[in-house]
Amino acid sequence: MSNNERRQRPGGPDVLVVDDEEDIRELLEMTLIRMGLGADSAGTVAEARALLEKKTYRLCLTDMRLPDGDGLELVRYISEHCADLPVAVITAYGSMENAVVALKAGAFDYLAKPVSLEQLRALVKSVFRLPGSGEAEGGKDASAFLIGASNAMAQVRQLITKLARSQAPVYISGESGSGKERAARAVHALGPRAQGQFVAVNCGAIPENLMESEFFGYRKGAFTGADSDRDGFFQAADGGTLFLDEVADLPLSMQVKLLRVIQEKRVRRIGETEERPVDVRIVSATHQNLRALVEHNDFRQDLFYRLNVIELKMPALRERREDIPALAEALLERLARQAGMPLPALSTQACAALCDYGFPGNVRELENTLERALALSGGDIIH
């Protein structure tokens, strides 16, 4: 009986483990078996490809260094030939650059050696919560969050649907009011973390002296006023998504600490010596030009590359004017419902005026304009 045959449950293999070190394979396989999963193993890229051609798996775990190639080669092969198969890479401690490259190539997530079994179990559970191919969580799709029939928005929704199936950090760029937080919520709600918390943090609204305690939490008695234990944003988002809005406003001192947590996936509360694992997906956004800030040494380059694994660009409203009528209708309906007022219609002239305006404040300005018009309207039509 082969090694693989001894490690199967009745329903067949769930996970393909690819590593040339037998002890690592054994560790991963036994952990998966204890989770009730079947596993196949391979020691080379060639063996892995041969198994992938014969069998269907729900997850692939691959080392980045293999005798006949590297994990990145396997990630690209899976992205091309097994597009619905999530693949996670295992990288040596301190080799985060390899992990980032793999994430950009389509890897679902990564684990750092020595492999934390707690993090492995969290990764596997996250993968197995993934909706099936072409099926979003709860039957939703990105159009439930982002309205518009323009080509620009169709491309945004298409990318969001793809990003939702990954664990890779996402950086959302775009002007103020362009819908960056709604895009972040869509990435969260359409993916395997939908049942977890979506924790939105405005980085520019937190005083610098409180940042560490707000992000990482603290132990009772750690400082004056710490009357009880308190979790931070990372613990609150454990199993879900942490949205760092206006991330460019983080001071450099906090950027260093944030980088370490993202790399090691562990946090330590103020006043404690023990680090605790956290399973958090990072989505960040800013209206500023983060690349320019990096060039001027106002934002750490290493943190930028960790956050900007995949960039999602939100178009300005003036770049998709054809979406304004549908957006205005949806916003007006919500505003009228919230105000307990009958829904008025937009006149042809009012709609044309909206479409002709540049909206420097984007969707947020459109909403404010409609809210004011609704409050001032005296009839069934807004002129």
pLDDT band at 296; cut points 50, 70, 90:
very high
Give the CATH number for residue 70.
3.40.50.2300
In a domain, 341, yes or no: yes
Q: What is the pLDDT of residue 95?
A: 65
In a domain, 213, yes or no: yes
In the block, residue with structure tokens 């080379």: 44
Among the ranges given (6-10, 30-34, 160-164, 170-174), the one the predictor scored with the smallest mean pLDDT: 6-10
| pLDDT above 80 (res 10) | no
Give the Cα separation of 205 and 183 in Å (integer).
21
Q: What is the pLDDT of residue 6?
A: 45
| pLDDT above 90 (res 302) | yes
In a domain, 262, yes or no: yes
**CA triple 29-34-40, angle to 5 deg:** 30
Q: What is the pLDDT of residue 140?
A: 63
Strands in 281-286's sheet, in edge-to-edge order, are 198-202, 241-245, 281-286, 170-173, 310-313
Residue 138 DSSP class? G
Looking at the fold, whether 122 and 147 belong to one and the same domain comes out as: no
Looking at the fold, whether 155 and 294 belong to one and the same domain comes out as: yes
Other Cβ atoms closer than 10 A to 274: 7
Give the Cα separation of 57 and 70 in Å (integer).
20
- Which domain-ending residue is among 278, 313, 348? 313
| pLDDT above 90 (res 256) | yes
In the block, residue with structure tokens 């198994």: 51
Q: What is the pLDDT of residue 15?
A: 94
pLDDT band at 11; cut points 50, 70, 90:
low
Q: What is the pLDDT of residue 356?
A: 96
Give the Cα separation of 73 and 27 in Å (integer).
24
Give the CATH number for residue 334.
1.10.8.60
Looking at the fold, whether 98 and 241 belong to one and the same domain comes out as: no
Residues spanned by the domain of 329:
321-382
User: Across residues 282-293, what is the average pLDDT?
Assistant: 96
Looking at the fold, whether 248 and 103 belong to one and the same domain comes out as: no
User: Across residues 304-330, what is the average pLDDT?
Assistant: 95
Map 331-346 to HEC letters: HHHHHHHHHCCCCCEE
| pLDDT above 60 (res 48) | yes
pLDDT digits (tens, 9 = 90+) for 219-235: 887 787 778 888 999 99
Give the Cα separation of 203 and 100 in Å (integer).
24
Q: What is the pLDDT of residue 94?
A: 54
DSSP-based three-state secondary structure for 154: helix
In a domain, 132, yes or no: no
Q: Could you give the number of structural domains in the chain?
A: 3
Looking at the fold, whether 22 and 100 belong to one and the same domain comes out as: yes
Looking at the fold, whether 96 and 207 belong to one and the same domain comes out as: no
Give the CATH number for residue 187.
3.40.50.300
112 — phi, psi (to 5°)? -100, 140
Judge if pTM exceeds 0.85.
Answer: no
Strands 276-277 and 266-267: antiparallel
pLDDT band at 135; cut points 50, 70, 90:
very low
| pLDDT above 60 (res 360) | yes
Looking at the fold, whether 223 and 100 belong to one and the same domain comes out as: no
Contact 241, 196 (CB under 8 A): yes
Token pair for residue 131? Answer: 């909706």
Contact 115, 87 (CB under 8 A): no
Looking at the fold, whether 327 and 246 belong to one and the same domain comes out as: no
Q: What is the pLDDT of residue 369?
A: 96
Residue 224: C-alpha distances to residues 60, 218, 220, 233, 375 (Å) = 48, 11, 9, 20, 47
Q: What is the pLDDT of residue 17?
A: 96
- 99 vs 231, more confident: 231
Q: How many DSSP H helices and E strands does the chain contain?
A: 15, 16
Among the ranges given (40-44, 122-126, 306-310), the one the predictor scored with the smallest mean pLDDT: 122-126
pLDDT digits (tens, 9 = 90+) for 60-73: 999 988 999 888 99
Q: What is the pLDDT of residue 70?
A: 85
Residue 311 DSSP class? E
| pLDDT above 60 (res 3) | no
- 143 vs 131, more confident: 143
Burial 345-362 (b: 16+ CB within 10 A, else e): ebeeebbeebeeeebebb
Q: What is the pLDDT of residue 136?
A: 45
> Percent of the chain, pLDDT > 70?
93
User: Across residues 336-361, what is the average pLDDT?
Assistant: 93
| pLDDT above 60 (res 5) | no
Contact 27, 51 (CB under 8 A): no
Looking at the fold, whether 301 and 160 belong to one and the same domain comes out as: yes
pLDDT digits (tens, 9 = 90+) for 182-225: 999 999 999 888 999 999 999 999 999 999 999 999 888 778 77
User: Across residues 231-245, what is the average pLDDT?
Assistant: 96
- Which domain-ending residue is among 313, 341, 373? 313
Looking at the fold, whether 33 and 96 belong to one and the same domain comes out as: yes
User: Which range has the top average pLDDT, 20-34, 241-255, 330-344?
Assistant: 241-255
Give the Cα separation of 269 and 275 in Å (integer).
8
User: Across residues 148-164, what is the average pLDDT?
Assistant: 92
> Average model confidence (pLDDT) for the chain?
89
Looking at the fold, whether 50 and 145 belong to one and the same domain comes out as: no
Looking at the fold, whether 157 and 96 belong to one and the same domain comes out as: no
| pLDDT above 60 (res 93) | no
| pLDDT above 70 (res 298) | yes
- Which domain-ending residue is among 313, 330, 355? 313
User: Across residues 71-94, what is the average pLDDT?
Assistant: 87
